[in-house]
Structure 1
Amino acid sequence: MNVLIRVLALALFIGSMQARAGIEAPPSSPLLQQLVTAVAADDKTASDNFWRSIEASHTPLVEQDADSPDVLMTFLWRALPEQGAVNVRVIPGELTSWEQVGDPLQRVAKTDVWYRTYRISRKARFTYYLAWPEGAVPRTDTIHRLTAGNGLVYEAVADPRARSTYAQERDGVRRLFSYAEGPEAPAEPFVKFREGAARGNVETFDVDSKILSNQRKVSVYTPSGYRKQGTRYGLLLMFDRLSYTSDVPTPTILDNMIADKAIPPMVAVLIDSRVTNDPDGDARSRELPPNDKYQSFLRDELLPLIRKRYNVSADPKRNVVAGSSYGGLAATYTALSNAAVFGNVVSQSGSYWWNPECCQSSPEKMVFLSENAGWMIKKVASLPRRPIRFYMDVGAWESADMLMPNRILRSVLEGKGYEVTYREFMGGHDYVIWRSTLSDGLIAVVGTKR
């Protein structure tokens, strides 16, 4: 019965999110309304004029909503019906159900304009894709292949007219992702590369683990002017190396923050989640959730190696462990397990829904509720308070599974007397958000103006 109640609650939550997104059938975009009027007046140039304006302003359209404090955000695709555009769908982050592979675009009659409009918070920022059934529109830039609830496979690509994009690099392959943002989305002062700014160095090498019986790559960032002798540097330990050197450009972010004296110079160690000797390709899901064997690897193998090679501090007040999703969960458990080393946690959308029974079978059969539900929350409640400072964030558009455990853990930490900085942002489970909030977290826990 509890499971049924929870499923119904999730369904209501998703429904309310879509209602808040303001999905509508007729054009509510003022610019689209002008197009409809021009077409009705038999203006043969209406469609071309519309696309000419779009090429200049890019997509999505962002217009003031006269009926709410939000903005109207309209996603667009150009094609004639026979080109298959009727199958194009937009997938804006957490606004739509991934099982349905987004919301289909609809056509403005007698034009080659296809659209979908949402009402969106002015503070929102989120990744989005365009998608269609596999093979319907031949592409060479597919980002994802997604399977819908009906079994259809969809290809998702970045919006070619997007106003904003970011790059992801994996194994020498560079892919672009499109993202959208409202006019009051949080500033990103440290994300973009600055010409002429002092740059740190990144060294990447393999680390063997006898404890875990595998090997992985580790990247180490040292700041500009780094010295092997003298005053030791604070240590930043981060999970998901590939994501935090590409999707989230951590070296660039650190360069800019250090240049602006927002944080003191730090050495950052980014640990890969991809390993050798990984038969099911899912080492990340085994290692990052609370795992004492993995903690032994960090404590007894990796950290001694880092201390031997780099001039890093042993003062937990200067050292940070950080990550997102499972990495946020791992960051909290790592600090609790090694409070003499890490006195600061940056948790971005931490997966505090996790419990030991949740993921022993296939993802479709994940068990969210058990007697161990809220495992990390109970762990924090049961332990004496440690000298650890926390920064936590989570997306207001994320599912109840993400939101509620983060909120509860925040309350438990505060009740135990921990110093906690907690934020909810207008977005989903999304690297385009985490790349901006990483600097917020570092400033909160080790900022120079604390």
Structure 2
Amino acid sequence: MKSLHLLIIFLPLISYSQSKWDEANTIIHTKNLQTDQVNNWWIDLNKSNSIPLIQNDSVLFLYRGNATTVEWMGDFNGWGYVKDFANKGRKIINTDVWYLKCKFPTDARLDYKILIDGNNWIIDPANKFQQWSGVGGGSPNSELRMPLWNEDVATVTQANVPKGELIGDALIISKSLGYQVTYSVYLSHNYKQFGPMAVVYVTDGYEYLHPQLGNMTTTLDNLIHSQKIQPVIAVFVDNREPVNRANNRRMNELAMNSKYLDFFANELIPAIQAQYPVKAEAKSRAIIGTSMGGLTATYFAFTRPDLFGLAGIQSPAFYTRPQIYNLCEGNADVQLKISMTTGLINDTSTDSRKMSEILKASSCVYQYREVNEGHSWGNWRRLIDDILIDLLGK
């Protein structure tokens, strides 16, 4: 009986989507369109939130406005670096409507913008979905959600879930680095009742905390409340200069930097252990990061397995420091627990697969996931819960 109800609901959806797709193709190939016909079609698409128009694995990007050229830039063409992706829009004859037809995996989620006349980057004005991206907070991109992509409920704030406490912008003066570093500390709800807890250190801490980027505290709240992970303390280390937040030092700090590792080992970890109820053994201490931070998580864990027994690695930028492969191969007998993820669309899948083979031959316990997404916080945020469960699951 349940399957019958689903069938009754599903069939009209197919018909509705198909009819809009057919109508769009008719509009595109009609030479003598009436202005009212175009206006009514455009109003209908906007009212039904049907831009971009999606049918199974096919996408019709649409833009209406005065322009000489219109291009779609995004994860799908490496934001312009992948030259063999046909991203230039075509104009429907005798209208101001531009279109681009593409095909993507049915479970893909991709960031994009529209480029007008080669110099004006805009979000899609007809698409309500957005994903923020970029170092230091960045700016919004439009978001393409294919039919089989689903939002992860672990990333969504739930009214009935108790919130942990966040102590923001603590300052530490580092002798190893020769400058000040800020960090924020997340404490599980009612953390004092649990005794010593596992601790998670997070690079690019500002981005992982940002509600429109990583939103990691919400994921922690939800996973702890649902008892999918043990209560934890999380330390979000900010790579931005404290007195000039526009100066992000990540490209130096996260590039297999031995001084940055010394800062963690000799200064930050002792400071956290002295102030908070965290377990001291490596098997209860995780390091997590994305992109350059994913490289750093790998470097930290394989260089100091006595400190970090757990590593969460997201879209790792191994290509920037290929010596990381030799480091991991040379320490194949270490007992680490690793969770690694990557996108398949102009992300780091080639390098991640190479590392996956190294991990497979090692003594590490590891999980590896690939998703049809790009190098984006939309990708990383949705996989934080998987990583935390892999590393700290009950």
SS of corresponding position for 1:54:
helix
Match of 2:274 in 1: 308
Note if contact 1:164-1:178 (Cα within 8 Å) is conserved in structure 2: yes
Task: State the 1:176 CA deviation.
Answer: 3.1
Match of 2:336 in 1: 388
**Which sits farther off after the overlay, 434-443 or 282-291?**
282-291
Q: What residue in structure 2 maps to residue 406 of structure 1?
A: 352
1:343/1:174 Cα in 2 relative to 1: closer, same or farther (>3 Å)?
A: closer
1:174 Cα offset (Å): 8.4
The structure carrying a bigger helix percent of its residues is 2
**TM norm structure 1:** 0.75
- How do residues 22-421 of structure 1 correspond to structure 2 at under 5 angstroms? 29-36=21-28, 40=31, 42-64=33-55, 71-79=57-65, 83=66, 85-96=67-78, 98-99=80-81, 103-133=87-117, 154-167=119-132, 175-204=139-168, 205-227=170-192, 231-246=195-210, 247-275=213-241, 281=247, 283-355=249-321, 374-398=322-346, 402-421=348-367
Task: Tell me which amino acid in the other structure corresponds to 2:99.
Answer: Y
Contact kept? 1:61, 1:74, Cα under 8 Å = yes
Kept in 1: contact 2:332–2:364 (CA 8 A)? no
For the residue of structure 1 that corresponds to 2:190, the secondary structure is coil
Alpha-carbon distance between aligned partners in 2 of 1:309 and 1:419, rounded to the nearest angstrom: 31
1:193-247 per-position Cα deviation (integer Å, ceiling 9, x unaligned): 22232111211122221210111221111121121x7521211111112211121
- How far apart in 2 are the matches of 1:250 and 1:109? 47
Distance 2:121 2:91 in 1: 20
Letter aligned with residue 195 of structure 2: T
Please, which runs of 5 or more residues in structure 2 have no aligned partner?
1-19
**CA apart distance, 1:384:** 4.8
One-letter code of the match for 1:411? Answer: E
Contact 1:29 1:117 in 2 (8 A): no
**Are the aligned partners of 2:132 and 2:377 in contact in 1 as well (CA < 8 Å)?**
no
288 and 174 in structure 1: CA distance in 2 versus 1, 3 angstrom threshold: closer
Say whether the 8 Å CA contact 1:91–1:102 is kept in structure 2: no
Q: Is the 8 A contact 2:74 2:80 kept in 1?
A: no
CA gap 1:195/1:29 in 2 versus in 1, 3 angstroms:
same
Judging changes above 3 Å, is the alpha-carbon distance between structure 1 residues 42 and 59 closer, same or farther for their aligned structure 2 residues?
Answer: closer
**Unaligned segments of structure 1, at least 5 residues:** 1-27, 66-70, 134-151, 356-373
Per-residue CA shift, 1:131-179, capped at 9, x if unaligned?
A: 235xxxxxxxxxxxxxxxxxx7x342322222422356998x8843321
Identity of aligned residues (%): 24
Identify which range, 180-189 or 290-299, moves more after superposition. 180-189
| Number of corresponding residues | 370
Paired with 2:44 and 2:382, the residues of 1 have a C-alpha distance of 30
Partner Cα distance (1:387, 1:381) in 2:
13
Give TM-score scaled by structure 2 length. Answer: 0.85
